[in-house]
Amino acid sequence: MSDKNRKEKYVFDVFQNIAGSYDSANGRISLGFHLYWKKTAIRRMCSGLPKGAQVLDVGCGTGDMLRLMNGQRPDLKLTGVDFSPNMLKVAKKRCGHIPGVRLKKGNALDLPFMDGSFSGVSISFALRNTADYSLALREAARVLKPGGRLLVIDSFVPESPLIRPFYGFYFSVIMPLVGGGFVKRKEYRWLTESTKRFVSVGGLKELMRAAGFSVRSERKFLFGACSYVLGVKRA
């Protein structure tokens, strides 16, 4: 089994195991800020989308981004895709009643959609969990129309040497226990490890450019522990 396949299987098992407690854990881990970060990023992306646009959320998990996008832009036609059936079960409970929202099982590295199907794509706290960042971004570009918008929001290791020691202690020692307790602390250690292995914000922007995007804006939150980057697919 290749390293990519091993990572994909491991991540699949992690999210299958934590699906039921994922939402409450996110609130504890982010100190309650994660919904504000998502809302801010969504507002930036949605401001440039036409009325009734088709938007895809890759790695939709339990449906947070879909609910928040619907709250800001009820006119959008939203699709969520995730490779974890357990996550999709939770998403269906939370979003299944919302008009214009559909959920589909699928892999970020091989999206089950035609070229140019969407005006917007979001990848929220999911890119770092894929087995190939570049391929995931190229797939996002493929399913976007020319001029379509890509929003990537994720966790990053802060660049400030003053913040890093506090960040390292919290995310390595405190966060796994806060998120998963003693029973599922192993799964939440992966979320720490995946952030450490992830690219920097500058590295993400380079990957986005290589995948066919022009970077339009970015914003950091909580000293850089979370950031979003917004790109537009080049014609």
CATH number at residue 26: 3.40.50.150
> Is residue 184 in a domain?
no
- CA angle, corner 213, sides to 113 and 158, nearest 5? 105
The pTM of the full predicted model, rounded to 2 decimals, is 0.91
Number of domains observed in the structure of the chain: 1
**pLDDT tens across 183-224, in order?**
455 666 777 788 889 999 999 999 999 999 999 999 999 888
Match 């036409």 to its residue by tokens: 50
**pLDDT tens across 62-95, in order?**
999 999 999 999 999 999 999 999 999 999 999 9
Strand stretches in 91-212, DSSP E: 101-105, 118-124, 144-155
**Domain span including residue 37:** 3-165+199-233
> Is residue 89 in a domain?
yes
DSSP class of 234: -
Which are the contacts of 38, defined by CB distance < 8 A and separation ≥ 6? 64, 65, 68, 124, 153
